[in-house]
Structure 1
Amino acid sequence: MGSLKREQAYQCLRDAITFGKFKPGERVVEKDISEMFHLGRTPLREALRQLQMEGFIDVLPNRGAFVRKVSVEDLEHVYDVLAVLEGHAVESAVGSMDPVVIRDLQGIEKAMLSAAKEKDFKEWLDRNSQFHAVFQRVSRNAVLSGSIGNLRRQTYRYRGLALSIPGHVDEYLSDHKKILEAAEKGKAEKAGKAMRRHVQRAGAVLISFLRDNPWV
Structure 2
Amino acid sequence: MSVTTKRQDLPLAQVAYQTLRELILNNEFKVGTQYLEKVLVERLNISRTPVREACVRLEREGLIEIQPRHGIRVKPISPDDMRDIYEILTALESQAIGTLASKGLSEQQLQRLEKATARMAESLQQDNLEAWAEADEEFHHTLLDLTDNQRLKDVVLQFWGQAHRVRFVTLHLRDTPHDSTKDHSEVVQAIRERDPIKAADIHREHRIKGGKAMVALLEKLRLANI
Superposition TM-score, scaled by structure 2 size: 0.80
Q: 2:208 is matched with which residue?
A: 200
Q: Per-residue deviation at 1:57?
A: 0.5
Aligned to 1:78: 85
Between 112-121 and 61-70, report the one with greater CA deviation.
112-121
2:41 is the counterpart of 1:17 = no
How many Å separate the matches in 2 of 1:182 and 1:157? 30
2:46 to 32, 36, 40: 40
Gaps of 5+ in 2: 1-7
Deviation (angstroms), 1:114: 4.4
Distance 2:198 2:168 in 1: 29
In the alignment, the residues of structure 2 paired with residue 168 and residue 12 of structure 1 have an alpha-carbon distance, to the nearest angstrom, of 29
| Structure 1: gaps spanning 5 or more residues | none
Gap change, CA 1:140 and 1:3, over 3 Å in 2: closer
* RMSD value, Cα: 2.6
The alignment's TM-score, normalised by the length of structure 1, stands at: 0.83
Kindly, what percent of the aligned residue pairs are identical? 23
Counterpart residue identity of residue 118, structure 2: K
8 Å contact 2:35–2:70 — kept in the other structure? no
Moved more, 152-161 or 86-95: 152-161
- Residue matched to 2:70: 63
**Equivalent position of 1:87 in the other structure:** 94
Equivalence for 2:128: 119
Moved more, 134-143 or 196-205: 134-143
Residues matched between the structures, number: 214
Distance (Å, rounded) in 1 between the aligned partners of 2:41 and 2:128: 28
Q: Does 1:173 align with 2:176?
A: no
Checking the alignment, whether the CA contact within 8 Å between 2:25 and 2:161 is kept in structure 1 is no
The 5-angstrom pairing of residues 128-167 of structure 1 reads 128-167=136-175
Note the C-alpha offset of 1:211: 1.3
Moved more, 87-96 or 177-186: 177-186
Structure 1 residues 23-64: Cα deviation after superposition (integer angstroms, max 9, x where no partner)? 2211123344455x4532434433323222221100022332
- Alignment partner, residue 188 of structure 1: 196
Cα deviation digits, residues 125-164 of structure 1 (max 9, x gap): 4432331233333334444333323322221221202322
SS of 2:72's partner is strand
Q: Report the alpha carbon displacement of residue 89 of structure 1 after superposing the two structures with TM.
A: 0.5
